[in-house]
C-alpha cells in the first residue's frame, strides 16, 4: 500500500470513531507530522495535543474496526470517486481556514476546481421567473470573469447556477448532503455528470452509502460557503438552506450578497431581510460583487498593465517573497516548491492563492506555478 493510501486509511479510521469529529482530526494533523503514526502513539503523546482529552485518546488507542475502514475504501473505489484529506495538497486552502473543515472529501471530477477563486450561488428550490432570470444573468457574468461557481445541486437556483456555469465554460463545484454514491436529488444525476465532464467536481464529506437525511444539508452548507470568496443569495424565503449558508458565510468572514426582490414576493423575503439588517450587500449588477472580492476583474488592458508591475514593488510577507524569488528562477510544482523554500504545503497553497488573486503568479495544470 502506497504512502498516500496509508494516510487515507488512517484518516478514514479516525472519521469512523464515534464522537470523534473533524475538529479533533484537524488538531491531530496540525500537531503530528506524519498521520500514519497516529494509531501507534502512546496516550501521553495523544493527550499532549490540544483538544484531545482522555476519552478521545482512549478511543484512538482502542480502535480496532479496520474492517469497516477497508469496506469504505472499497466502496469509494467502486463508486469511481477519490478521497481528498486535510493532509493532502489538493485540499482547498480557503476551506481549511474555517473553524471545522471536513477531514475528508469524497470527490468525482477535477480536484483543482475546489481551489479556484469563486462565488457560492444559492437560493430557493421554488423559484420565480425573476429569480431564475437573475440567477442566469449574474452567474453568467461571474463565470465570464473566470470565477468558479459553488452550489449544492438542489433544484431551483442551485441547478440554474451549475447549468449556467457549464454553458459559460466556467468550473463549477456541487456539494452533496449524501454519499457520493447516493446522489440527491436523483433527477440531477445528468447535471452532476455534466459538471464532472466540464472540468468541475461533485464532492461530499459524507462516506459512501450515506442517505440524504435532512440534517446533512445544513452541515454541508458550511462547505459551500467555506470554499467561496463570497456567497450570493439570489432568491430565498426567511428560512431554509440559503439563509443558513449566508449566516455561515458571515461566520467564516466571507462576503455576502443578496438580490433585492419586489415587495410581496414570498420567495424573496429572505434576500430583502439580509439587505435590511446589513448582513448582505445589495446587488444590482455583477460589479457590486466583483468590487468586494480580492481578485482582478478589470478589462483586459488593465489586467496586462497590472501584470507588468514587478512583485518587488508590492508589499509581500516573508513567505510570498520566498515564493517569488524561487519562481523567478524557474516554474515549480507545489510539492517541489515546498521542498525548495522550506514552507509546508498547506501554508504554501494559501500564499500561492493570494499571489494568484493579486496577479503575481499563474497556476497551471498539476498545481504547477510560474511568475506572471
What mean pLDDT is reported for the chain?
A: 91
The pLDDT value given to residue 306: 39
Chain segment 264-313, per-residue pLDDT in tens: 888 999 999 999 999 999 999 999 999 999 886 444 333 333 344 578 88
Which residue in the block uniquely carries the three cell numbers 436523483?
186
What was the pLDDT predicted at 296? 66
For residue 16, which of 83, 91, 66 has the smallest C-alpha distance? 66
Each residue of 197-236: pLDDT tens digit? 999 999 999 999 999 999 999 999 999 999 999 999 999 9
pLDDT at 1: 60
Question: What global pTM score does this model have?
Answer: 0.77
Cis before 129? omega within 30: no
Binned at pLDDT 50, 70 and 90, residue 66 comes out as very high
Interval 320-343: pLDDT, tens: 999 999 999 999 999 899 999 999
pLDDT for position 298: 41
Q: Which three cell numbers stand for residue 210?
A: 450515506
Could you give the angle at the alpha carbon of 292 between the alpha carbons of 291 and 293, nearest 5°?
Answer: 95
Amino acid at each position: 500500500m502506497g504512502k498516500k493510501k496509508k494516510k487515507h486509511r488512517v484518516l478514514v479510521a479516525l472519521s469512523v470513531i464515534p464522537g470523534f469529529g473533524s475538529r479533533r482530526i484537524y488538531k491531530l494533523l496540525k500537531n503530528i507530522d506524519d498521520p500514519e503514526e497516529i494509531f501507534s502513539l502512546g496516550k501521553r503523546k495523544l493527550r499532549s495535543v490540544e483538544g484531545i482529552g482522555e476519552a478521545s485518546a482512549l478511543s484512538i488507542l482502542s480502535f480496532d474496526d479496520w474492517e469497516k475502514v477497508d469496506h469504505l475504501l472499497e466502496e469509494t473505489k467502486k463508486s469511481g470517486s477519490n478521497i481528498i484529506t486535510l493532509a493532502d495538497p489538493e485540499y482547498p486552502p480557503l476551506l481549511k481556514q474555517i473553524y471545522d473543515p471536513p477531514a475528508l472529501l469524497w470527490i468525482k471530477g477535477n480536484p483543482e476546481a475546489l481551489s479556484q477563486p469563486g462565488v457560492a450561488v444559492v437560493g430557493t428550490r421554488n423559484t420565480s421567473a425573476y429569480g431564475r432570470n437573475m440567477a442566469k444573468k449574474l452567474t453568467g457574468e461571474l463565470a465570464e470573469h473566470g470565477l468558479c461557481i459553488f452550489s449544492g445541486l438542489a433544484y431551483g437556483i442551485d441547478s440554474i447556477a451549475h447549468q449556467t456555469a457549464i454553458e459559460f465554460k466556467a468550473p463549477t463545484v456541487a456539494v452533496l448532503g449524501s454519499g457520493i454514491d447516493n446522489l440527491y436529488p436523483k433527477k440531477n444525476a445528468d447535471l452532476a455528470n455534466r459538471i464532472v465532464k466540464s472540468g468541475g467536481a461533485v464532492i461530499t464529506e459524507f462516506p459512501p452509502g450515506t442517505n440524504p437525511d435532512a440534517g446533512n444539508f445544513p452541515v454541508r452548507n458550511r462547505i459551500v460557503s467555506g470554499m467561496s470568496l463570497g456567497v450570493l443569495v439570489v432568491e430565498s424565503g426567511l428560512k431554509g438552506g440559503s439563509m443558513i449558508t449566508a449566516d455561515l458565510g458571515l461566520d467564516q468572514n466571507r462576503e455576502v450578497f443578496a438580490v433585492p426582490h419586489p415587495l410581496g414576493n414570498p420567495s424573496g423575503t429572505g434576500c430583502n431581510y439580509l439587505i435590511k439588517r446589513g448582513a448582505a450587500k445589495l446587488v444590482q449588477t455583477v460589479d457590486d460583487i466583483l468590487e468586494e472580492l480580492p481578485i482582478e476583474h478589470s478589462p483586459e488592458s488593465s489586467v496586462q498593465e497590472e501584470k507588468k508591475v514587478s512583485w518587488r514593488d508590492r508589499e509581500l510577507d516573508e513567505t510570498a517573497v520566498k515564493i517569488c524569488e524561487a519562481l523567478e528562477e524557474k516554474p515549480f510544482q507545489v510539492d517541489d516548491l515546498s521542498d525548495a523554500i522550506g514552507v509546508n504545503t498547506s501554508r504554501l497553497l494559501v500564499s500561492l492563492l493570494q499571489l494568484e488573486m493579486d496577479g503575481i503568479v499563474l497556476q497551471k495544470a498539476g498545481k504547477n506555478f510560474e511568475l506572471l
